[in-house]
């Protein structure tokens, strides 16, 4: 195995590549993937195995007895240890144990007996796609890479589905191009000898939630320590979000225990009721070696800022474009302070908390305890008694819930109790979506409902897994944007080992109406000061969203003046233009425009590439 490259062409955090079987005709296809700055990792035969872009710090490779393994991303394993573990591999299935044992966030690749195995992360932060190109099965970390090689345009039906608010599982995990297949995060792609067969094989299942919080707390602490340590062990300078919330505060204190020097970044909210700065300052008092930077709240971008200027190359629409300017705004200044990596607390809300829908199972096993919990949740979320009873009486399987959702796409937004105690938020379409787009979305929902299985039989754990995976769909795009802006981002809470440790906690101890994030509080006790662990709320940034909608209405108006979605017959541009003139319209504060804006911005970015969207 050897590596050939011109120049790296990228910094850490932006590794992306295509994977090829060891065949003569695959070598010809691989040449069409080469770009200025591309790197090539070769099979033992000298033919290309990986073609793409990565930084030296993002790849570890090993060969032993004709088997080659590559780890691309963030993983603390060294080449000698990887070589020892590679030497023990006799079958591709044995890679499961290796994948489930390593900390960090990475793609894992193996070439054994002319077979290929390619997998990402169970979280969905690192994905795998594949397509047949000139008779060769090619895998890639990005769907648009394969679509560009095929010269294909995105499928209009898939675009209509992405207008759903929200698109439910499994609809949001498909590729936007029919010829490009997405590999589910829990699966690995296996390409048979010489590329003759292709299959997906499951390598990950969520842990059963049977551990007590007392038993789990040290395991969660260890997993999070390893996740942060994987990013900080090299020393240098790293920056961390320090919002004052439990998630970012935990990451900041763990980073402070590492060899790296830490710059903490606090961005106060505009809302006078926002207490983030207070809590961040409380944490900073206990971090004397950390440089604490507090930004001017009024100088930070609002939601909806610079939508017309987004030119990132994304492989799917993402609601992350709404906050793109906010996410990237401080990164150049942090890089100027020497930061080589920016750590966030994103994902803590998704793994250290869980869905209240676990109460369905709890009612069967511990009914008196379940009723006590329900009383607390009703008071906390203001759930009406009738709606709570109806939600608990709803025993529809997931496929039936999807099918029923297809019949109510134009209905009012479902009440929060139905979402909180159900399979998730039922999808909706709004007045500006055309009847044709509705027909396509409804048909796709019904087709999916026939075979769809939930991510877990328990609706609470299904919702937890779906929320993690919908979150990582946004973060993987933000990570690429951040790397392009000059400072890579990382979110340790979204590492698979951290997710597993948190999901193993009994749901009745992960979420309770009586305590805020008990899992994280227990895990971080002794690392984060008790003063900081006492915080029991978080800021919502609702003022930044409402102000952004009002202040950037001219941009929204311009977005719909020359709408790609309207050209495709998917939206009524006139209705959207009228709505842009009325930013205080009821419902807009519920983010119902996000999926439509995401699709429009993505199509505009796609139009800058050689492939074209088909005419309506």
Q: What is the pLDDT of residue 275?
A: 87
Alpha helices in 88-136 (DSSP H): 95-101
Give the residue from 188, 168, 32 showing the smallest Cα distance to 109. Answer: 188
**Alpha carbon 390 to chain centroid, angstroms:** 32
Kind of pairing between the strands at 237-241 and 67-74: unpaired
Maximal CA-CA distance, the chain: 68
Cα 485 from Cα 498, distance rounded (Å): 27
Mean pLDDT on 515-522:
94
What are the distances in angstroms from CA 251 to CA 229, 256, 339? 10, 9, 16
For domain 2-152+175-202, which CATH number applies: 3.60.15.10, 3.60.20.10, 3.30.450.20, 3.40.50.2000? 3.60.20.10
Cβ atoms of 171 and 157 within 8 Å: the answer is no
Alpha helices in 398-525 (DSSP H): 398-406, 416-421, 435-451, 459-485, 496-503, 507-510, 518-524
| 3-class state of residue 289 by DSSP | coil
What are the distances in angstroms from CA 205 to CA 44, 173, 423? 33, 17, 19
Q: Do domains 2-152+175-202 and 213-352+469-542 have the same CATH topology?
A: no
166 preceded by a cis bond (ω within 30 of 0):
yes
Instruction: Assign 11 a pLDDT band (cuts: 50, 70, 90).
Output: low
Cα 359 from Cα 324, distance rounded (Å): 36
Instruction: Kindly list the domain boundaries of the chain, sorted by start residue.
Output: 2-152+175-202, 213-352+469-542, 370-461, 553-606
Mean pLDDT on 322-339:
96
Q: What is the pLDDT of residue 426?
A: 97
Give the residue from 583, 346, 593, 608 showing the smallest Cα distance to 477. Answer: 346
Q: Which helix (DSSP H) or strand (DSSP E) does residue 225 occupy?
A: helix 213-232
Burial of 59 (0-12, 13-18, 19+ CB in 10 A): buried
Q: What is the pLDDT of residue 7?
A: 36
**Alpha carbon 329 to chain centroid, angstroms:** 20
Give the residue from 407, 358, 356, 364 showing the smallest Cα distance to 381. Answer: 356
The answer for residues whose C-beta is within 8 angstroms of residue 214's C-beta and 6 or more apart is 522
Mean pLDDT on 488-497:
98
Q: What is the pLDDT of residue 612?
A: 43
Whether the pLDDT of residue 94 is over 50: the answer is yes
Give the residue from 142, 120, 179, 470 showing the smallest Cα distance to 312. Answer: 142
Q: What is the pLDDT of residue 84?
A: 97
What are the distances in angstroms from CA 320 to CA 314, 323, 327, 476, 478? 11, 6, 9, 10, 7
Q: What is the pLDDT of residue 542?
A: 66
Task: Give me the residue label for tokens 């060294």.
Answer: 78
Q: What is the pTM of this model?
A: 0.95
Alpha helices in 290-395 (DSSP H): 324-328, 331-336, 348-351, 359-365, 367-381, 385-393
The answer for residues whose C-beta is within 8 angstroms of residue 397's C-beta and 6 or more apart is none
Q: What is the pLDDT of residue 582?
A: 87
pLDDT digits (tens, 9 = 90+) for 102-150: 999 999 999 999 999 999 999 999 999 999 999 999 999 999 999 999 9
Q: What is the pLDDT of residue 610?
A: 53
Cβ atoms of 335 and 341 within 8 Å: the answer is no
Q: What is the pLDDT of residue 9?
A: 39
Mean pLDDT on 40-61:
96
Cα 512 from Cα 213, distance rounded (Å): 12
Report the mean per-residue pLDDT for the chain: 93
The answer for residues whose C-beta is within 8 angstroms of residue 250's C-beta and 6 or more apart is 224, 345, 348, 520, 523, 524, 527, 528
The answer for residues whose C-beta is within 8 angstroms of residue 610's C-beta and 6 or more apart is 148, 151
Give the residue from 381, 383, 379 showing the smallest Cα distance to 392. Answer: 383
Q: What is the pLDDT of residue 602?
A: 97
The tokens describing 425, both together, are 């938020």
The tokens describing 450, both together, are 């026939």
Give the residue from 334, 314, 312 showing the smallest Cα distance to 325. Answer: 312
Angle, CA of 349, 355 and 360, to the nearest 5°: 165
pLDDT digits (tens, 9 = 90+) for 53-87: 999 999 999 999 889 999 999 999 999 999 999 99
Burial of 532 (0-12, 13-18, 19+ CB in 10 A): buried
Q: What is the pLDDT of residue 271?
A: 77
**Percentage of the chain surpassing pLDDT 70?**
96
**Alpha carbon 404 to chain centroid, angstroms:** 27
Q: What is the pLDDT of residue 507?
A: 94
170 preceded by a cis bond (ω within 30 of 0):
yes
Cα 179 from Cα 202, distance rounded (Å): 22
**Alpha carbon 114 to chain centroid, angstroms:** 32
Q: What is the CATH number of domain 213-352+469-542?
A: 3.40.50.620
Q: What is the pLDDT of residue 1?
A: 65
What's the Rg (C-alpha) of the chain? 24
Cα 481 from Cα 397, distance rounded (Å): 38
The tokens describing 549, both together, are 């909608």
């Amino acid at each position: 195995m050897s590596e050939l490259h011109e120049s790296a062409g990228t910094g850490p955090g932006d590794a992306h590549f295509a994977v090829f079987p060891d065949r003569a005709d695959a070598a010809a296809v691989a040449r069409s993937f080469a770009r200025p700055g591309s790197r090539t990792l070769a099979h033992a035969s000298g033919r290309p195995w990986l073609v793409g872009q990565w930084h030296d710090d993002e790849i570890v490779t090993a060969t032993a007895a004709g088997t080659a393994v590559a780890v691309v991303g963030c993983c603390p394993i060294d080449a000698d240890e990887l070589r020892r573990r590679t030497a023990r591999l006799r079958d591709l299935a044995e890679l499961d144990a290796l994948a489930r044992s390593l900390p960090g966030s990475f793609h894992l690749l193996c070439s054994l007996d002319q077979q290929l195995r390619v997998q990402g992360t169970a979280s969905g932060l690192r994905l795998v796609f594949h397509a047949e190109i000139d008779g060769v099965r090619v895998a890639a970390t990005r769907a648009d890479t394969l679509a560009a090689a095929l010269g294909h345009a995105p499928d209009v039906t898939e675009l209509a589905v992405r207008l759903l608010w929200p698109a439910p599982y499994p609809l949001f995990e498909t590729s936007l191009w029919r010829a490009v297949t997405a590999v589910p995060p829990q699966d690995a792609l296996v390409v048979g000898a010489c590329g003759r067969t292709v299959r997906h094989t499951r390598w990950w299942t969520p842990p059963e939630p049977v551990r007590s919080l007392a038993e789990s707390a040290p395991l969660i602490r260890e997993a999070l320590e390893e996740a942060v340590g994987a990013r900080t062990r090299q020393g240098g300078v790293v920056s961390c979000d320090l919002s004052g919330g439990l998630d970012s505060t935990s990451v900041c204190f763990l980073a402070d225990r590492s060899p790296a020097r830490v710059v903490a970044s606090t961005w106060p909210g505009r809302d006078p009721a926002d207490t983030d700065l207070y809590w961040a300052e409380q944490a900073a008092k206990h971090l004397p070696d950390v440089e604490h930077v507090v930004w001017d709240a009024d100088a930070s971008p609002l939601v909806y800022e610079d939508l017309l200027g987004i030119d990132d190359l994304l492989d799917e629409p993402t609601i992350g474009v709404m906050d793109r300017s906010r996410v990237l705004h401080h990164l150049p200044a942090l890089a100027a302070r020497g930061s080589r990596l920016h750590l966030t607390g994103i994902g803590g809300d998704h793994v250290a908390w869980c869905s209240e829908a676990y109460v369905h199972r709890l009612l069967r096993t511990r009914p008196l305890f379940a009723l006590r919990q329900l009383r607390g949740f009703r008071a906390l979320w203001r759930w009406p008694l009738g709606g709570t009873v109806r939600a608990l009486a709803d025993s529809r399987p997931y496929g039936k819930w999807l099918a029923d959702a297809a019949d109510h796409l134009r209905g009012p937004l479902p009440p929060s109790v139905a979402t909180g105690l159900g399979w998730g938020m039922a999808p909706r379409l709004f007045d500006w979506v055309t009847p044709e787009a509705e027909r396509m979305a409804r048909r796709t929902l019904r087709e999916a409902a026939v075979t769809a299985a939930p991510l877990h039989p328990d609706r609470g754990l299904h919702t937890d897994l779906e929320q993690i995976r919908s979150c990582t769909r946004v973060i993987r795009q933000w990570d690429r944007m951040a790397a392009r802006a000059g400072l890579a981002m990382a979110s340790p809470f979204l590492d698979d080992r951290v997710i597993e440790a948190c999901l193993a906690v009994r749901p009745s101890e992960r979420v309770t109406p009586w305590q805020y994030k008990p899992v994280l509080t227990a895990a971080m006790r002794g690392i984060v000061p008790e003063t900081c662990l006492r915080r029991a709320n978080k800021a919502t940034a609702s003022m930044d969203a409402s102000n952004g909608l009002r202040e950037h209405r001219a941009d929204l108006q311009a977005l719909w003046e020359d709408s790609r979605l309207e050209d495709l017959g998917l939206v009524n541009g006139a209705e959207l233009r009228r709505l842009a003139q009325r930013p205080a319209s009821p419902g807009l504060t519920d983010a119902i425009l996000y999926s439509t804006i995401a699709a429009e911005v993505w199509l505009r970015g796609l139009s800058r590439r050689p492939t074209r969207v088909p005419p309506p």
